[in-house]
Amino acid sequence: MGSVRISVKWQKETFNDVEVELSQPGLMLKNQLFSLTGVAPERQKIMVKGGMLKDDADMTKLGLKPGQKLMMMGTADKVPEAPTNAPVFVEDLPEEQQDLTGYSKYGAGLQNLGNTCYMNSTVQCLYRVPELRTALQQYPETTGTQYDTGHKLTVAAKGLFADMDRSAQPVPPFRFLLMMREKYPQFAQQNREGHYMQQDAEECFSQLMYTLRESLKDPSKGETSAIVQHLFGVGLHSKLTAAGTTETIEEDATAYSLKCNISIDVNNLSEGIKLGLKDDREKNSEQLGRTTVFEGSSVITRLPAYLTVQMVRFFFKADVQQKAKILRKVTFPLVLDLLEFASEDLKAQLKGPREAAQEVEDKKAGLAKDANNKRKAEAAAGETSKADAEGDTEMKDAGEAASSSSAAEDSVAKYKGQLTGRYDLVAVLTHKGRSADSGHYVSWVKQDDGQWIQFDDDEMIPRKEDEIITLAGGGDWHMAYLLLYRAQRV
């Protein structure tokens, strides 16, 4: 059905380029205008063909045309006031007040603006990706699409990350929240009392990722090269076969997260990912002449710099009309190896880098030194009448060791910077509660110096690595919902 851009006049203001999704009901437009004007949907009176716009109006039947101007009447609610004291930046603080906790080097907390913990925890996880921060810093604020809601949300993310870089106090993400609600009105939903409702953090993460994927491009590689795809995109190849036939379907796709499905047989992350890669679908079979189940699974063909894994803990429960939570304990590793999920071609590509990475680890662990010491000890024990021959043997061993060491260094140099298929855990987004649309979301982020910080809205709490392992679920404590891993390189 597409969309159409119109203008809306309200009081003395005119809002141009308001994008109307024709496939959505009238309430969607009202939510957009609420984000722009502060006038609650129930107070809005919008003149359209046939009278006032109703919440359930079919927008395709209104005959809206590009550039058409609509009139809106209504009184705005009181706009939330910014804090009396603006965010305090380190360079502006008196010396005795500068970073007393020592945590400002890890960023800043985010104020909760009314059930916005789902958004705050999402932002803190993405802030952990320095390449994404750099891409946002370079994003131009003035472009030909400055009225586009995706552009405005991206600019708001740029500003928010900049504030988090500089601030020594928790940052109020007012502009980012406003743009998020304008772009995705679902996050502006209110309950009967007029309070903003809790939302699903994974939906927030996915929607924000989609917007950044569309906005952030690499100018040096052309407009079609998406930075977000390079950072987070997982290449997948699926092969499905119709039951009882030889008919197959093969597809290639890019996903921005792997799913860890949770069943009674799933106890750890690898088992859940394996289940999530199963891909059974109902499709029409040409051989059978009817709809049948195509069974199969997907393998990974391309690895990202950062891997997101969603723990699929929520399902829609019809009797209570909400997303219920699976509390089962599912452990996850601090280092995740994706080799078992890779295609054969990808496994072959990873062979060299993995061997080179192992050489580096062996060198760090001193295994090469231990092996050399063992050879010397054996040589000393055998030092008898064959001293001359022994000497020849020692020289031979030394030469072989030097040759082996040189080959290992060449291997490391050849594959330096390449992916190994192993990933380090750097952030965990958790949920505490029994429903995705209630409870509380928090993020736990590993810093460059190895320190874990729990971001509970405006609070920053140091945590130990042992505490991260306890987020596997099995009770009412915080449990992992989204996991963010960073690729290990040679």
Through-space distance between the first and last CA atoms of the chain, rounded to whole angstroms: 49
**Interacting residues of 164 by C-beta distance below 8 A, sequence separation 6+:** 107, 108, 110, 127, 171
CATH number listed for the domain at residues 3-73: 3.10.20.90
By the 10 Å C-beta count (0-12 exposed, 13-18 middle, 19+ buried), 42 is classed as exposed
SS3 (DSSP) at 177: helix
SS3 (DSSP) at 264: coil
pLDDT in tens, the chain (490 residues): 678 899 999 988 888 888 888 888 888 888 888 878 888 888 899 988 878 898 888 888 888 999 899 999 888 765 555 555 666 665 665 543 456 567 888 999 999 999 999 999 999 999 999 999 999 999 998 866 667 899 999 999 999 999 999 988 899 999 999 999 999 999 999 988 888 999 999 999 999 999 999 999 765 555 445 899 999 999 999 999 998 888 898 999 999 999 999 999 999 999 999 999 998 888 888 888 888 999 999 999 999 999 999 999 988 777 767 778 899 999 999 999 999 999 999 999 999 999 999 998 888 887 656 666 666 666 666 554 445 544 554 555 545 545 555 666 777 888 899 999 999 999 999 999 888 778 999 999 999 999 999 999 999 999 999 999 999 998 889 999 999 999 999 9
Span(s) in the chain for CATH 3.10.20.90: 3-73
pLDDT of residue 12: 86
In sequence order, the β-bridge partners of residue 240 are 249, 296
pLDDT of residue 487: 97
pLDDT of residue 221: 57
Q: Which of 117, 125, 204, 260 is catalytic?
A: 117
pLDDT of residue 434: 82
Distance between CA atoms of residues 230 and 417, nearest Å: 15
Please indicate whether residue 117 is annotated as part of the active site: yes
Question: Amino acid identity of 475?
Answer: G
pLDDT of residue 482: 98
Query: What would you measure as the largest C-alpha separation in the chain, in angstroms?
Result: 112
**Could you tell me the two tokens for 432?**
């505490």
Span(s) in the chain for CATH 3.90.70.10: 90-227, 234-342+420-489
Distance between CA atoms of residues 167 and 163, nearest Å: 6
Q: Which CATH class is domain 234-342+420-489?
A: alpha beta
Q: Which CATH class is domain 90-227?
A: alpha beta
Q: Which of 195, 204, 431, 440 is catalytic?
A: 440
Nearest one of 17, 21, 22, 40 to 30, comparing CA atoms: 40
pLDDT of residue 97: 46
In sequence order, the β-bridge partners of residue 249 are 240
By the 10 Å C-beta count (0-12 exposed, 13-18 middle, 19+ buried), 197 is classed as middle
Please indicate whether residue 125 is annotated as part of the active site: no
pLDDT of residue 95: 44
Alpha helices in 277-365 (DSSP H): 344-365
